[in-house]
Structure 1
Amino acid sequence: MKTKLIIVIAALFLLSCGNNENEFDATGTFEAVETIVSAQASGLIKELSIEEGQVLKAGQKLGYIDTVQLSLKKKQLEAQMSAIISRKPNIAAETAALQEDLKHARREQNRIANLVKADAATRKQLDDAGSQIDIIKKKIAAQHTSLGNSVSSLGEEAEAIKAQIEQINDQLEKSQIINELDGSVITKFAEESEMTSTGKALYKIADLSTITLRAYITGNQFSKVKIGQKVTVFVDSEADSYKKYEGIIEWISDKAEFTPKTIQTKEERANLVYAVKIKVKNDGLLKIGMYGEVKL
C-alpha cells in the first residue's frame, strides 16, 4: 500500500512539472515593419517584375513607367539649349574691326605728333587725332556693354533650360522602379499595363530576416524585465509540441493597457498589461500574425 502511494505521489509530481513546462509568462503575435512602396512618376507601367513572397534586395531594378513623353520633352529642351548657345556672341570677333580702327588712330596720332615737332602739322590736328581715339574707345566700351548684356541674357535663358533638363532627368530616374529595401514582398498592388500616378502604392515590403513578437506582460512581471534581456520564445510546431527561439527584448511600453481581446480569456482581458517587443531571428518559419509564447 505504501509503495502504491509513493508511485501516485511521484506521478502527480511529474505531471505537475510537465504542466509547469507549458505555463508561459506572456503571449502575443509576430509582426514586422511593413513599408508601402509608391510610384514616383505618373504613366503606364511598362514593366513590374515582382510577385508576392518574392525576396528583394536594396537597389534591385523591378521595372519602369513609360518615359516616351519625357524623352521627347528632353530632346526639345536640348535643341533649345543648342539654339541659345549658337546665338551667343563672340565679343572678341564682334569688336575686332573697332580694335583695328583704334590701332590705326593711334598710329595716326603718333605720325601727327612727329609732324608737330617738325612744325609740319598744327596742334589742332594732334588734338583731333586724340579725340578720334577717344571716340573709338567709347564705341568699343559701348559694344562690350551691349554684347555683355546679350551674353548675360542668353546665359539666363540657358540656365532656365538647364534646370528644366535636370527636372526631366530626375523624372526619368524616378520612372525607374528601384527597390530601396531588403525584404519580402507582402502585397502587390499594381500590375503591368496599368496606369499609375505619383504616390500611388505599387507594393508592400517587409524585412522578415528578423521578426518582432509583440507580447503582453502583467504588472507583476513589469519590474522583472529590461531592454536587451534574453527570453525564450515558443511557437506551435507539431501536435502538443513547440519550437524554441531565442529572443531579445527591444522595447517595453511605459503605459499600461487592457489586454488585447485576441490574446487572453474573457476574465484575463480585464487585466491591465504592458506591451513588449521581442526581436527574434527568423529561420523562415515565422510568419506575420503567427502566435508566440514567451518565458522570461
Structure 2
Amino acid sequence: MKKWCYLFITAIAFTACNSNTGKADASGTFEADEVIVSSEIAGRIIQMDVKEGDTMSKGRLAAVIDAANLSLQKQQVEASIDALHNKTSDASPQVQLLQDQIAVQKVQMANLQKEKARTENLIKADAATTKQLDDISNQIDMLNRQIAVTEQQIKVQLNNTSTQNRSILSEQPALEKRAAQIADQLERSTVINPISGTVLTKYAEAGEVTAPGKALYKIANLSEIKLRAYITGDQLSQLKLQQAVTVQVDDGAKAFKTYKGTISWISSKAEFTPKTIQTKDERANLVYAIKINVPNDGTLKIGMYGEVLFTQHK
C-alpha cells in the first residue's frame, strides 16, 4: 500500500513539473548535413590544417598532398611535345634549291627564245637553215619539260614533308590532353574545404599516406541544425512546409529550453516507428518523418533529444 502511494505521489509531481509545456506532439533527435571531405589523389599528406572543433570557412585550404611524382610526369609529357617539333622536317632549303634551278632554266629559255627569233629572221634572209631552227625548237621543248619536272619536284617535296610532319604532330593532341589531365590532378593535390562549418571528426594526420576517396575529416554547418521527428498519419494533415513550430530541449532536470523552428521537409512515405522514438500516439505503428530547421545558439548538438509542439499549449 505504501509503495502504490509513493508511485502515485511521484506521478503527480512529474505532471506538475511539465504542466508548463504540456505533452509534446512529436519528438526526435537533432542532426546536421555532414560532409566527409576526402582526398582525390594518392600520396603522402604534407600539410593538414584541420583540428576537431575548428570553425572553417568555405574555400579555405585544408590539406596538401605530395604531388611531386605528378609534376615530373607533366614535365615528361611537355618534353615529349617539344620533341615532336624537333622531329618535323623543313622543306624550305630543298624547295629553294629547286626554285633556283627553275630560275636558271628560265634564263636559258629566254636566251633560246631570242636565238629562235634571230634564226627565223636569218631563214627569211636565206642566211640560216630550217634544221638550225628545228634544233633550237627542240631545245626549247626539252627545257620546258625540265622546268615542268622541277616544278613537280617542288610539289612532291612539299607534299612529302607535310605528310611526314602531320604524322609526327598527330601525337600532339593526345599528349596535350594527357598534360591537361595531369595538371588537373596537380590542382586536386590541394584539398579545399567545401562548406563553412565546424570540424566534427578528423580521420588523418600530416605524414600519413592517403588514397582517392579516403576520408580526411568530417564537417557540418551547425549554425542551423535539423530536428528529425516522427508524426502519425492523423497529424500529417495539420502540417505543411515552412510552418513555424516550437522545439523544446531539456535545460536541467526540470526545465525546458525553447526554440523556434520551421518545417523544411515532410516524408511522402510512411515507415514503422523507430524503437527510440515516441510519438504523440505511442500505439501508432506507421509514422511519417519530418525535418525541422532550428537556429542553433551553440547549445544544440547532433544526437541531442528534442520535442516538438505544433501549437502552443495552455
Gaps of 5+ in 2: 1-11, 120-132
Match for residue 201 of structure 2 among 180, 187, 198: 187
Instruction: Report the secondary structure of 1:21's partner residue.
Output: coil
Instruction: Report the secondary structure of 1:198's partner residue.
Output: coil
| Higher Rg of the two aligned structures | 2
Check conservation: 2:273, 2:284, Cα contact below 8 A: yes
Give, in whole Å, the separation in 2 of the partners of 1:210 and 1:25: 22
Match for residue 128 of structure 1 among 142, 151, 163: 142
Deviation at 1:122, TM superposition (A): 1.6
Check conservation: 1:185, 1:204, Cα contact below 8 A: yes
Q: Which residue of 1 aligns with 2:128?
A: none
Letter aligned with residue 86 of structure 2: S
Check conservation: 1:258, 1:269, Cα contact below 8 A: no
Check conservation: 1:259, 1:269, Cα contact below 8 A: no
Check conservation: 2:33, 2:220, Cα contact below 8 A: yes
Is residue 221 of structure 1 aligned with residue 262 of structure 2? no
Check conservation: 2:271, 2:288, Cα contact below 8 A: yes
Give me the TM-score of the superposition, normalised by structure 1. Answer: 0.87
Give, in whole Å, the separation in 2 of the partners of 1:258 and 1:210: 28
* Comparing 91-100 and 124-133, the one that deviates more: 91-100
- CA 1:183 to 1:107, structure 2 compared with 1: closer, same or farther past 3 Å? farther
Gaps of 5+ in 1: 1-11
Deviation at 1:223, TM superposition (A): 0.7
Give me the TM-score of the superposition, normalised by structure 2. Answer: 0.82
Q: Which residue of 1 aligns with 2:90?
A: 90
1:10-49 correspondence to structure 2 within 5 Å:
19=19, 21-49=21-49
Deviation at 1:204, TM superposition (A): 1.6
Give, in whole Å, the separation in 1 of the partners of 2:191 and 2:64: 5
Letter aligned with residue 57 of structure 1: S
* Comparing 210-219 and 236-245, the one that deviates more: 236-245
Deviation at 1:62, TM superposition (A): 1.5
Q: Which residue of 1 aligns with 2:62?
A: 62
Check conservation: 1:58, 1:182, Cα contact below 8 A: yes
Give, in whole Å, the separation in 1 of the partners of 2:74 and 2:242: 54
Instruction: Report the secondary structure of 2:19's partner residue.
Output: helix
CA displacement, residues 247-276 of structure 1 (integer Å, 9 cap, x when unaligned) = 1111111222232211228x9265332111
Is residue 250 of structure 1 aligned with residue 255 of structure 2? no
| Aligned length in residues | 282
Check conservation: 2:17, 2:254, Cα contact below 8 A: no
Is residue 137 of structure 1 aligned with residue 137 of structure 2? no
Letter aligned with residue 90 of structure 1: D
Check conservation: 1:39, 1:199, Cα contact below 8 A: yes
1:276-291 correspondence to structure 2 within 5 Å:
276-291=290-305
- CA 1:139 to 1:177, structure 2 compared with 1: closer, same or farther past 3 Å? same
CA displacement, residues 195-236 of structure 1 (integer Å, 9 cap, x when unaligned) = 111121212222222211111112221111011111111122
Q: Which residue of 1 aligns with 2:123?
A: none
CA displacement, residues 8-40 of structure 1 (integer Å, 9 cap, x when unaligned) = xxxx9xx88962623211111111122222211
* Comparing 200-209 and 104-113, the one that deviates more: 104-113
Q: Which residue of 1 aligns with 2:170?
A: 156
